[in-house]
Amino acid sequence: MSNRKIDDFIREREQLIRNMSDYCGQDAKRFFHLDSQVYKAGALPAKMKELLGLVASLVLRCEECINFHLINCYEQGITDKELAEALTIGLIAGGSITVPNLRRAYATWDELKKGIPDEI
């Protein structure tokens, strides 16, 4: 995912969230609020929670979720070694079917390290 694609991903996701919020009911909005709150620091640091979200996303093979958590991991200061260990857990838990998403995750991580767009 190039920096342009990262920027496009962020913009598209924000637009889709705005569109969805126009239609979804209160119960769905409560879920999305909980989702945003659960990743804040608590007994576990926020960066660990992002890694947990990334592993779950890899196992579930949700490319959008993987990209979202990779961006947040990058912003939380996750190191290459921390990322590699977490993604290896996802590989073990999810099996070989996760390999295509794993490849794309490392490519996205590489792009993030080259320079994340300023608009984030």
- How sure is the predictor about 82, in pLDDT bands with cuts at 50, 70 and 90? very high
Residue 84 CB partners (closer than 8 Å, separation 6+)? none
pLDDT score of 1 more than 60: no
pLDDT score of 119 more than 50: no
- Domains of the chain as residue ranges with CATH: 3-114 (1.20.1290.10)
CA distance 72 to 38: 13
Task: Kindly state the average pLDDT of the residues 104-114.
Answer: 94
Q: What is the pTM for the complete model shown?
A: 0.85
Question: What is the rounded average pLDDT for all residues in the chain?
Answer: 92
| Local structure of residue 42 (DSSP, 8 states) | S
Query: So what's the pLDDT on residue 120?
Result: 44
